[in-house]
Amino acid sequence: MTRLAVPKTYKLYIGGKFPRSESGRVYEITNATGEFLANAAKASRKDARDAVVAARAATGGWAGATGYNRGQVLYRIAELLEGRRAQFVAELRASESLSESAAQLQVDAAIDIWVWYAGWADKYVQVAGNGNPVSGPYFNISTPEATGVVAIIAPQESSLLGLVSVIAPALVSGNTVVVVASERAPLAAISLSEVLATSDVPGGVINVLTGSAAEIAPWLASHADVNALDLAGAGDLDGDLSWVDLQIAAAETLKRVLPPENGIPAPSVERITFFTETKTVWHTKGII
């Protein structure tokens, strides 16, 4: 007797919970040969709005945690990814038609990137900050601080490695993230959300939307409560959406905008410091 398979329902990840899209819409995920894999939620602009609200609420706690603490939390995600390796490998093979070894390499790379960025959490301030020489009896100190809510369009072609390469750097300094996952292959992103939900990352720090990036991105770009925009995957969106329009919309509210990249962004400290604001303080020196 054949057993009836129980297919998984892939939902959004907003504020530490897994809601369906407010719009009730779903869309079909297929593998490279067009075979049906699963239904995923198709997020609407209101889901994006809810995600921004959740992300905003989480900024205080996440940015307020010490760099050391954030590093530990990010490192723990890498540990959990390691434990779920088989699931991610299977999903990458199904949705991206990778060979077993290629999928293994992708998961390895994704885990290594988490670890690499986790290490920066208590170090980037020393690199990007500075004690400025001033002509007066003052200490003058510049330190980078998180900018707030970062909206990210994840690379469309690489569902796990691409996603990790854009969300990890934004998180390091204490930003919270609303990320639109790869439209064609969002399954790994939702499975990553399940990892996040059981890790030590507070709810709302990372919010994952699946669906049409071309539909959601303009709303995130013009949203007045989003502080920065990472358009990593906006270069190869379907439809006639130009990332320049997104940049123009973002300029209305003075957002930082990181332009699209070809392929998967390489790990770099610049991706961390891009989503920070430099605070400079003056302190009097005792004159003896």
Q: How far is the CB of 253 from other proteins (least distance, A)?
A: 8
Question: Residue 112: enclosing H or E segment and its boundaries?
Answer: helix 100-120
Q: How far is the CB of 118 from other proteins (least distance, A)?
A: 30
- Complex with other proteins: residue 52 or 89, whichever CB lies closer: 52
CA distances from 79 to 76, 138, 200 (A): 5, 44, 11
- Complex with other proteins: residue 51 or 92, whichever CB lies closer: 51
Q: How far is the CB of 48 from other proteins (least distance, A)?
A: 8
- Complex with other proteins: residue 196 or 228, whichever CB lies closer: 228
Contacts (Cβ under 8 Å, ≥6 apart) of 61:
202
- Complex with other proteins: residue 223 or 271, whichever CB lies closer: 223
Distance CA 97, CA 194 (A): 22
Answer for the pair 227, 246: CB distance below 8 angstroms, yes or no.
Answer: no
Question: Residue 191: enclosing H or E segment and its boundaries?
Answer: helix 187-197
Q: How far is the CB of 271 from other proteins (least distance, A)?
A: 24
- Complex with other proteins: residue 22 or 108, whichever CB lies closer: 22
- Complex with other proteins: residue 11 or 223, whichever CB lies closer: 223
37-62 as b/e: b if 16+ CB within 10 A: bbbbbbbbeebbbbbbbbbbbbbeeb
Distance CA 201, CA 27 (A): 28
Q: How far is the CB of 16 from other proteins (least distance, A)?
A: 19
Residues lying near other proteins in the complex (CB under 8 A) are found at: 49, 52, 56, 219, 222-226, 249, 252
Rg of the chain over all Cα atoms, to the nearest angstrom: 20
Answer for the pair 258, 169: CB distance below 8 angstroms, yes or no.
Answer: no
- DSSP-derived letter for residue 190 is H
Q: How many CB atoms lie within 10 A of CB 276?
A: 23
Nearest 5°: phi and psi at 18? -115, 80
- Complex with other proteins: residue 22 or 157, whichever CB lies closer: 22
Distance CA 140, CA 3 (A): 69
Q: How far is the CB of 50 from other proteins (least distance, A)?
A: 11
- Complex with other proteins: residue 45 or 123, whichever CB lies closer: 45
Q: Which of 37, 14, 25 is nearest to 188 (CA)?
A: 37
Q: How far is the CB of 56 from other proteins (least distance, A)?
A: 7
Q: How far is the CB of 28 from other proteins (least distance, A)?
A: 27
Question: What residue has token string 């809510």?
Answer: 149
